[in-house]
Amino acid sequence: MNAAPLFLADGRRAGVWFCGSCKATWGCDSSAAMCCEPSVCSCGSACASPWLKCEDCRRADTAKLEQDRWLKARKLDGMDYHGWVWSESQDRFFRDIGECLDAWFDEQGDGADVPTMYACKPFKMAFDAAGWIHGRLEAHYDGAEDDMPKGCFAELQSLMDAWCRRNSPTSHTPDFGTAITWERL
């Protein structure tokens, strides 16, 4: 709304614009101009800022994404799975199916449908030696990296990998390719 450019001390344009209403800064004048203007969803409903879709359409998009993901996943009987579980219905991880189901039915009641669950894949913390070195060398002179000994990146990476194997906790990430089914008795 009423976008205006910002200027440097010497009078040159800074290449940044601001909204005349809330003073938020933007990288282009059209974004600054639309900043406090109400958005209209493709369905015609008003959108809450900063969304470009209304809540009903976002909810429908999410439901479609979740349904498509479930349909594409291979199904695994919960009786055959032992491990961490991602519950899409609860938006959290559980150590096992029993913990997931207990929490779900405590929250939703015994008559609720079974929650949507996925198997999990374990992963360990990892570091990138090259990225770490690049970050540390930013304060040094140009070309400092070229002056480092050959093989030093590989040596540091080896040390970091060994440290992670010994010290990293095992975390989990959802395996959306493996859905867990559970039949209520």
Say yes or no to pLDDT of 94 above 70: yes
Q: Is 10 exposed, middle or buried (0-12, 13-18, 19+ CB in 10 A)?
A: exposed
pLDDT of amino acid 1: 61
Band of residue 47 on the pLDDT scale cut at 50, 70, 90: confident
pLDDT of amino acid 65: 93
Whether the full predicted model's pTM is greater than 0.75, yes or no, is no
Say yes or no to pLDDT of 103 above 60: yes
Comparing 13 with 35, the larger pLDDT belongs to 13
Q: Please state the rounded mean pLDDT for residues 16-41.
A: 86
Q: State which of 35-39, 99-103, 136-140 shows the largest mean pLDDT.
A: 99-103
Domain ranges for the chain, please list them.
1-37, 39-65, 129-167
Comparing 51 with 50, the larger pLDDT belongs to 51
Residue 50 · residue 38 · CB < 8 Å: no
Say yes or no to pLDDT of 14 above 80: yes
